[in-house]
Chains A and B, each alone.
Chain A
Amino acid sequence: MKTVVSMQNIHKKYQGQQIETHALQGVSLEIQQGEFVAITGPSGCGKSTLLTIMGLLDGASEGQYRLAGIDTQHLKTDERTRIRNLHIGYVFQSFNLIDSLTVFENVALPLEHRGEKAAVIKEAVVEALDKVGMRHRMQYRPNQISGGQQQRVAIARALVGKPDLILVDEPTGNLDTKNGDAVMQLLLELNKQGSTIVMVTHDSRYSGLAHRQIQLLDGRVVAEKQVRQADREVA
């Protein structure tokens, strides 16, 4: 099986005016294609930092990170952007949809930035929206749909470019239980269809649905456990 994420001894330091904060202190992990990994831990343990480094939104202070076989350590900004576009889909807790664009246009963004032709974009966007059940709201604007629907659209945007890795940051944090469950169901479906998903959550109900749970504490991996298929189904 192909290794999508390979992190070795990743450190992340933030230099404040007087103090230095070590958000990550030697994190090493590997994620295989098709896996659903949940990263858990208390607030401030470095979950989101790890996700942003994994998503190439930020760089590590030390350590080696390979994404789909590409060494990301010495990449220039534009190259990181291109790799992010080709290999990564991102789902945020606060959805981060652009209000001035329609649902269709929001979902089309990664393909637009990739320079795909209009016909290809249309086909892919419709397919992605079909997958998340939001095709009928294609011409709506984000502020005209509910929070749950906005998160579905955000998921469609993450998967429309068929990335190697979908990073999900607290996807249910801004949703009620019903909508949260629906979103999780959707992520599971996508994983079943072959998407590799890394999800940051502090909700044990949802972390239990992943194949593997990685627990962080004070910027270090303190526990890693595989979830049995039976437990996943129970959950």
Chain B
Amino acid sequence: MSLYRGSLRRGLIRLFSEPRLSLPLMLTLGLTLAAVLTVLSIAQTLLFQPLPGVKQEQQLYQLDVRLQFNDEMNVSFLSDRRRFAHLQQRFAGLGDWAQVVNQDSQAEVEGQQYQVTLLNATSGATDVIGLPLLLGEGTSADNAKEGVWISASLWRAVFGERSNLQGETIRIGGRDWPVFGVLGDFTSMDIEGNSSLIREQVWRFAPLQESLLNNESLSLGTTQLNLLRAPGGQVPDNRQLEDWYLTYLDTQISEPRAREFILSKPHSVSVQSYRDFFVGDSGKLVSLLIVAMVSLLVMACLNLLNMFIAHYQGRSKEFSVQLCMGASTRRLRLLVFLENLPMFMLASVTGLLGAAWLIRVLPDLAGDSLPLLDKINLDSLSLLVAMLLVMLINLLFASVSLLHVQQQALTDNLNSSGKGTPAQQKQGLNRMLMVLQLTIACTLMTAAMTSVYKSYQDVYQYPGYEMVNAYEISLAYKDEAWQQSLYDFESYSGSELQQLRSALADRLRKLEPQAVVDVESLPLSQSLTMRAYPDPETGESRMYLPRQWGRGYLESFHIPLLAGADLTGPQNGSREVLVDLDYARQLEGVEYWQNLVGKEIKLGNDSDDIFRVAGIVGNTRPVLGGLLNSTPPVIYFADVNADANGSDQPRLQMVVLMPEGQTLTREQLVPILSDLDPRLGEIGLESMQQRWQTMTAESRLNMYVVLGMAVLTLALAAIGVSGLSQMNAAQKRYELAVRMATGARQNRLLVLLLKDATLMLSAGLGLGLFGSVLGYQYLTGLIDQAPAFNWPTSLLVNVILAVTMLLSVVLPGWRVIRADPMQVLREL
């Protein structure tokens, strides 16, 4: 027993006495373990833990019929509630049905504004989901339309968890709604588009069957929950859903052109379990993260293993003595295991602490790209996995580190002079591990650098306009009905909206700005509307991005006018538009795009949809940070309402350019805008710089995190190669010293060391290149958003790796070669 105790004690001492071994192990293994544990925790939460707020999720299914407009855009055919009700009627016997649509909104209680997610649902939707009712009455067809239900978080924030909500109201969309009850927070909902799901939620219900009384709206929308709870497990299959879709088009859409338009779009039907729907691409992302992190862990382990092998090769004699004294190899492994245990335990503690920190900052790191972030934590299973993983790695290390201590070579080891020859016999294993490590490094780095390059382009590529000292100023509409009327009549000359905007501009001029631009939004936009119209000649659907164009807009943001009139700004209601270069090229070809100036374009089937092209401007990117993979052509309209539907425009907005270096604050705005109109509320202010920061934050963070991973991979590979090279050179010290003593020149010796390493590097990098090409093909097949493989990046990665690895070989080798041969011979 004292042998074991002794090993443990030596292990503890070694933590401090051999920092060259303990520090790399603690940091390398600890940090990679932190990454692995974080990803495993994410995977466990997303893939295995029950979804919060969802009861018996195995019975819950999501159904959808989607129309594909282009690579970027597909929309849900079931977004119209009437269609969903029709579908429910067709398969009513299979279970309970519910639809939920979310929308960002503002609620007001006792003059206080709250940002909320408004969930418009069919009656009984929360029962279908299984969301618990915490207080008040349940939803039913009778009470549904009379009041609202709020989430527990909003209940806490607004009513301080008061148990009696009798008579309490909440103002939404210009109307006061009685609060009927409190529901649990609904966090298990997949959100697409520009909305975000927050815990402060307001539920509004309407009976599903009522929507059958409406006319077919011919509208299409983004994803919502189309749920079926099927206790018997029987759900419509894809063929049945397809049949329903075609029948619906035939029987319910009477307008032939609309039917043809919809039929011309490729469609897909899907019936999937709620978890599959909820996890969606995140599942693939998590799987990829697991692969990446495990690869990193394997790489780190290979690295450390090489170091351990080197360390234990230096102790060959000690283990041979133990074997000679009657220790079995099993016992030796156990002794090594115990000796390394303190180091590994410390590494696992580092890993756990690192994982806890990473999970804490995960919401900042991942943004909206992963759901249920607040549910991810390090539980007992994670602790168990960490411990097991570390023990397994320790066991593996103990076994592999002693492979060189063979019974057969006992005599050699016991009688060796320690000048390196026996130890060199097992270098094949080191080399194999190193080639494997380089292969992983090359694959990981190629994937990482491709992603970094894409993020860099998303963030820093010139967007076609200057980032000037501009601000977007906004005022919230308090009265929904008034807001609607403003936009309904906005195109009439001298409309109330025009007067309001004019008054707003006048007030803003008091700030002595460089310019007040009468447009709703900055060229850099957080939310966009894309539109499609059928091409008059081919009938093909063409996408475009409607943007608003106002007086001084182009000059203010330095958007170049490439052809057409020297615009001073159109009048509202004008039928003139500006188009960007992409659009002009689409219509007139690459060479003759200027010919579009002065021509009319037809953006729909009505006479109102005909516009004259006044000019052509440079291409711009209104969305940065990779939120939109490719920007469709932009058409600039004079309408205030150009890039949004009136009823969807919740705020009155205008853009102000301040002189360079001058900051605009909310405090400056309040005195001049607070009495503009009593039906306008909260004042908002956002600078162009702030918007760029917010919009690109996720991409920049991703870029730095992935770049960090690439650097870590490179560092791991460099440490590994340098360690092996150092070991190689150290083992060859005697040989090198003898060669030097007998007249070999230093550069010849360096070539000798390099010759050995070059073969290993070539094999590792070659295999890595091959692996990265194959791996990347698989990745792009798996994730649509993955940037395309590019050879320059891959070759650059190989060059960086090759140079770093060669330096890692040359530098330690050079140190040995530069030593005085006679001194080396004396020392050995």
Contact = CB atoms under 8 A, between A and B. Distances in A.
A81 B328 contact: yes
A110 B326 contact: yes
Interface stretch (B40-48, B314-322, B699-707, B736-744): B314-322
A35 interface: no
A109 B323 contact: no
B639 to A, nearest CB: 84
A113 B332 CA distance: 10
A109 B2 contact: no
A58 B324 contact: no
Nearest to A100: B10
A109 B322 contact: yes
A112 interface: yes
Given A100-B10, A108-B2, A113 B325 contact: yes
B337 to A, nearest CB: 16
A101 B326 contact: no
Interface stretch (B111-119, B138-146, B405-413, B489-497): B405-413
A215 to B, nearest CB: 21
Interface string A63-98: 000000000000001101110111000101110111
Nearest to A86: B326
Contact of A112 (B2, B10, B407): B2
B1 A118 contact: yes
B793 interface: no
Contacts of A78: 328, 330
A228 B592 CA distance: 119
A112 B3 contact: yes
A85 B323 CA distance: 9
A84 B329 contact: no
B381 interface: no
A109 B325 contact: yes
Given A81-B328, A113-B326, A58 B411 contact: yes
Interface string B389-417: 00000000000000000011011001100
A81 B327 contact: yes
Contacts of A101: 6
Contacts, number: 77
A48 interface: yes
Nearest to B330: A78
Interface string B9-25: 01000000000000000
B324 A90 contact: yes
Contacts of A48: 411, 415
A164 interface: no
A77 B6 contact: no
B463 to A, nearest CB: 64
A81 B323 contact: yes
B411 A85 contact: no
A57 B326 contact: no
B742 to A, nearest CB: 24
B748 interface: no
Considering residues B2, B10, B317, which has the most beta carbons from chain A within 10 angstroms of its beta carbon?
A: B2
Nearest to B1: A118
B325 A157 contact: yes
A114 interface: yes
B407 to A, nearest CB: 5
A94 B407 contact: no
B327 A100 contact: no
Given A81-B327, A82-B326, A113-B327, A96 B407 contact: no
A92 B324 CA distance: 11
Interface in B410-452: 410-411, 414-415
Given A94-B415, A96-B317, A57 B325 contact: no
A123 to B, nearest CB: 14
Given A48-B415, A92-B414, A112-B3, A58 B325 contact: no
Contact of A96 (B2, B3, B321, B329): B321
Main secondary structure of the interface of B (DSSP, over half): helix
Given A101-B6, A118-B2, A113 B324 contact: no
Interface residues of B, number: 25
B186 to A, nearest CB: 62
Contacts of A84: 324-326
B259 interface: no
B331 interface: yes
Contacts of B408: 58
B529 to A, nearest CB: 74
A28 interface: no
Contact of A98 (B321, B329, B414, B415): B321
B410 A57 contact: yes
Interface in A160-214: 161
Given A85-B326, A90-B324, A58 B410 contact: yes
Nearest to B323: A81
A52 interface: yes
A151 to B, nearest CB: 14
A200 B302 CA distance: 43
Contacts of A57: 324, 410-411, 414
B410 A81 contact: no
A108 B439 CA distance: 47
A86 B325 CA distance: 9
B327 to A, nearest CB: 5
A52 B324 CA distance: 10
A161 B331 CA distance: 18
B568 to A, nearest CB: 88
Interface in B289-342: 317-318, 320-331
A82 B328 CA distance: 8
B320 to A, nearest CB: 8
Nearest to B321: A96
A112 B1 CA distance: 7
A139 to B, nearest CB: 13
A16 to B, nearest CB: 13
A164 to B, nearest CB: 14
A96 B6 contact: no
Interface string A34-51: 000000000000001100
Interface in B134-168: none
Interface in A83-142: 84-86, 90, 92-94, 96-101, 105, 108-110, 112-114, 118, 121
A58 B281 CA distance: 60
A113 B331 contact: yes
B494 to A, nearest CB: 95
Nearest to B408: A58
A113 B327 CA distance: 5
Interface in B714-762: none
Nearest to B409: A58
B324 A100 contact: no
A157 to B, nearest CB: 7
Contacts of B411: 48-49, 52, 57-58
Contacts of A82: 326, 328
A96 B414 contact: yes
Contacts of B3: 109, 112-113
Contacts of B330: 78
Nearest to B339: A100
Closest 5 CB pairs of A and B: A85-B326, A113-B326, A109-B325, A112-B3, A113-B327
Given A84-B326, A90-B325, A110-B326, 18 more contacts: A57-B414, A58-B411, A77-B407, A81-B323, A85-B325, A90-B324, A92-B414, A94-B414, A94-B415, A96-B317, A96-B321, A98-B318, A100-B10, A109-B322, A113-B325, A113-B326, A114-B326, A157-B325
Interface of B: 1-3, 6, 10, 317-318, 320-331, 407-408, 410-411, 414-415
23 contacts: A57-B410, A58-B408, A80-B407, A81-B327, A81-B407, A84-B324, A84-B326, A92-B414, A96-B320, A96-B324, A97-B321, A100-B10, A105-B6, A108-B2, A109-B325, A109-B326, A109-B327, A110-B326, A112-B3, A113-B325, A113-B327, A118-B1, A121-B2
Interface of A: 48-49, 52, 55, 57-58, 77-78, 80-82, 84-86, 90, 92-94, 96-101, 105, 108-110, 112-114, 118, 121, 157, 161
